[in-house]
Every structure is written in structure tokens, then in C-alpha cells.
Amino acid sequence: MSVDWSSLKGVLIDLDGVVYTGREPIPGAARFLGEARRRGLKFLLVTNNSTTSPEHVAERLGGMHVDVQPSEILTSAQAAVGYVRRRAQPGTHVRVVGEAGLRQAAEEEGLVVVDGDASAEWVIAGLDRAFNYEKLAAATRAILGGAHFVATNADALLPVEGGQMVPGAGTMIAAIKTATAVEPVVVGKPEPGLFEHGLQRMGGLAPDQAAMIGDRLDTDVDGGRRAGLRTILVLTGVTTRAEAAEANPPPDATLPDLASVTDLLWPK
């Protein structure tokens, strides 16, 4: 069935494998973002990475000659904190298992990040490359004491330069789950929280007014579909053309790259 792309009001765009690979921009990505701005299509660049701030992401992209504003970036840290903030009052005490990006997101939303033996009403956990027994014990005490448990994402492994894999946020989450026997609310892709937060950030769009553009069937396409968005798979990252052809159900569109999305949405 053909898709009417003319009604699209906004897009969520994955970063790694769509806008850049490693430290190199993908040709045509900057052109698409510029065309989206010119035509008034709302967009957010989204990432499951909770360790860094939107400002640092924008700075990194600027170094690749992809000019974006921090307000055009959505991290899983922001989505997780947004989930908490919608259910908690300003000044609520939270314990963060994570890095600077997650702590900054919590503080910017008016939450109080506690350390040491202080009590907390929420535990927000993400990738923490300084994760240790002390942090595990503190998170465990808080959750067993009644704190709510929220995770930025459940990615067990994280790809790094050179084709290597290292433990991801899901590894820390699994340790806390094992200690507490409590399942967290996971916000990042492919769970709906990040998509819902993105729709709100784009002015409260309805799911059928937006699309998810990504390079992975398991997180981007599956997550976007589950959240009610249209889905566009690009073949500049993880998923191969052969894998895309076997997808059931398939994405609403499969294209070579982000530049090709320009022609899909605004045919000449």
C-alpha cells in the first residue's frame, strides 16, 4: 500500500548510521536537514546515548559540517528525565546511575540529584563507564526502599571505533534488576517513551503525523512502528539491503540514504 507522505509534519532521525558513521558525516545528510528547515518540516535528531548533552552532540556534528542546534537533538537521557518529570514535582530527589549527560538533563528539569546515603524517590539509570559496586548498592537500596526505577535504554552492547563492542547501558540495568528483582521502565528505542517525548517536543504531533528515520530494523523501525509512526529505513548503517528485503512487516520506505528522503518527501 502506498504511503501519503504529503501529510508528514515531523521526523525523528537517528544519528549514528544515518547522519554520520564514526567521525565522518554521511554525504547528503546536511542537505536533508537544510531542506527540512526550508520547508518547515519539524525534526529531532535522536540517540539512545545518555552520556552526553545536546550541546556536545551539536558541537560534534558542527565539526562534521552538519549544523544543528541543541534544541534539535533529543537524547535518551532527556526522554528518561522527561518521563520522571511528568510524574514528579520539581525538587524531587533522584539517584542517577549515569554520566554527565544524564545528570545535566535531570538538573535542567528541576530534579535534585542525590549522592551518598541520601534517600531518593526515583532511580534513573543509563550507561555509566564508572559503574561500580558502590553505585550498584546505592541504587539497590533506593529501589528496595520504594524508589521508582527508570532506564534510558536497554542496549546490552555499545559499538565503538574500530568495530569493537563494549558493555552498554543494558549491562548496568541488568545488574540493578538482578539485585532488586524490579523491572525498570525503559524509555529509549525501541520502547515508546523516546518517541512519545519526541512528538511532544515537536509541538505535540500525533503519531500518524510523524516518521522515524533510522538504519536499524530492531530499534528504529520496530520502535517507530510500535509508537504509531511511519518508518523509513536507510541503508547507510547496520541493516543491509538483503535484511531489509526480508523484513516482515517492512518499513514504509527503504532508501539508500538520508539524502534520498529529500526526493521521497518532496518529489520534483
- The answer to whether the CB of 210 falls within 8 A of the CB of 227 is no
Nearest to 146, CA basis, from 165, 113, 121: 121
**How would you classify the pairing of strands 24-25 and 253-255?**
unpaired
Is 14 a known active-site residue?
yes
- DSSP lists the bridge partners of residue 167 as 157
* Active-site hit among 14, 128, 155, 215: 14
- The answer to whether the CB of 255 falls within 8 A of the CB of 232 is yes
Nearest to 75, CA basis, from 38, 97, 100, 93: 100
CA distance 105 to 102: 5
Rg from Cα positions in the chain: 19
Cite the beta strand spans of the chain per DSSP E.
10-14, 20-21, 24-25, 42-47, 73-75, 93-97, 112-113, 122-125, 148-151, 157-160, 164-167, 185-186, 210-214, 230-234, 253-255
* Active-site hit among 4, 16, 115, 220: 16
Q: Catalytic residues, which ones?
A: 14, 16
